[in-house]
Amino acid sequence: MQTRREVLKLSAGLAAASATAASSDKKIRLAVIGGGFGASFKWHEHPNCEVVAVSDLHSERRDVLRKAYRCDSVYNSYEDLLAKRRDLDAVAIFTDAPLHAKHVEMAFSHGLHVCCAVPVCHTLEDAYRIKELKEKTGLQYMMAESSYYRGGCIYARDAYRQGRFGEIFYTEVEYFHDHSVDERLEDPKSLYWHPDGSPSWRQGWQPMHYPTHSLAYLVGVTGERITKVSCLGWADQKLLAKLHKQKKERTFFDEVALMKTSRDHMVRHIEFRQVPEDGIWVRAQWYGDEGSFYMAKRGIHPDLWNPREGHPEEVRLPEYWKGPDLAVSDGGHGGSAGLIVSEFINALVEGREPEVGLSDSLAMTVPGIVAHHSALKGGEQLDVPILD
């Protein structure tokens, strides 16, 4: 019987505070950019991290950051912060998704390590450029991908490394986030709007441009890369017309892809943004020739392990995100936030690549970019570049 510490080390690598980080006095001087989702990460709890500056374009979010991190060095813009602070080691970027590539490039150009919200980017050109900058500078990049550290993914990663699946020949990954219904478009407090009343990036965002929560369940378990994809999309035409009147470039609300991996395996990938669903739902199931694992489906079944011989067994997932061996408390998103903070800071203290580094992050991002291209071409199968 494995102890919880043994399970965590196997599952999440070095996300738990390692002996090197725990014994080090080194401090990572961090700036947090973006006061929405960004304020939920408890960077200030890590003994090797100091939040020395925060920034957001909106005053309400700047106040949230100031209070969350008890930091009075507040800047009205990322550009202003970079121009005035020369004492930083790293930035945590939680700005609008279309700005991630630009903001990562700015950090690298200032010699700063990066932890960034998902996705890496939404064009192939940006993907290649960020890879080139990473190689040129030698700086560290980690994507704050919550699915990689969710309990079901950690459990599947353990089972795969232990050989319990045998060969995983088929994986289903899916992310349901219903925020495209008409009344939410009109609600100024919805995700479609910024605090100042301006339209948010979500109004024009394509579903497959946000693929990482789903593809983390493949890349973060087997390490495979996607090599080919065929994708189809659907949109509510009345709602689409309303968005187009607001000059938002939206094509689909729901997209479904069939993908081929570098080991000739199959993946079915769903990204739905208009669907009857209670809140946010992200999950996966893995089919192996020796065993399969199905993450819980709300109201239908719990987490289940199905061995080749025998019947499905309910799985009680360990609370990977709790306990005195973690540097910080979880902070949300299925317990992932604390593991993300711990892994990024520990990696910088130890001088190593973090988990969910740039290669894996691009492997979770680029297939979605190509999938959307496929949907625009009516489902034509396209090659996916591997940017390792």
Say if 334 falls within a structural domain. Answer: no
The answer to which of 131-135, 140-144, 200-204, 243-247 has the lowest mean pLDDT is: 243-247
Q: Binning pLDDT at 50, 70 and 90, where does residue 14 land?
A: very low
**pLDDT score of 245:** 67
- Is residue 178 over pLDDT 90? no
Domain end (from 143, 171, 197) = 143
- 65 and 130 fall within a common domain: yes
Q: How far apart are CA 294 and CA 187, in angstroms?
A: 36
Domain end (from 127, 143, 159) = 143
- 134 and 31 fall within a common domain: yes
Q: How far apart are CA 370 and CA 199, in angstroms?
A: 26
- 211 and 125 fall within a common domain: no
Q: What are phi and psi of 376, to 5 degrees?
A: -65, -25
Which residues is 256 bridged to in the sheet? 232, 270
Q: Binning pLDDT at 50, 70 and 90, where does residue 180 land?
A: low
- Is residue 213 over pLDDT 90? yes
DSSP state letters, 11-23: HHTT-SPPHHHHH
- 88 and 201 fall within a common domain: no
- 119 and 159 fall within a common domain: no
Q: What are phi and psi of 287, to 5 degrees?
A: -115, 115
Say if 343 falls within a structural domain. Answer: no
Domain that holds residue 13: 4-143
The rounded mean pLDDT for the chain is 90
**Percent of the chain residues past pLDDT 70, beyond the cut:** 89
pLDDT digits (tens, 9 = 90+) for 279-291: 678 999 999 999 9
Q: How far apart are CA 177 and CA 267, in angstroms?
A: 20
Question: Which stretch of DSSP H or E encloses residue 104?
Answer: helix 100-109
Q: What is the CATH number of the domain that holds 129?
A: 3.40.50.720
Say if 351 falls within a structural domain. Answer: no
- 110 and 231 fall within a common domain: no
- 138 and 153 fall within a common domain: no
Into how many domains does the chain fold? 2
**pLDDT score of 8:** 45
- 249 and 278 fall within a common domain: yes
pLDDT digits (tens, 9 = 90+) for 214-230: 999 999 999 999 999 99
Is 0.85 topped by the overall pTM? Answer: yes
Domain end (from 143, 171, 199) = 143
**pLDDT score of 359:** 98
Q: How far apart are CA 15 and CA 243, in angstroms?
A: 42
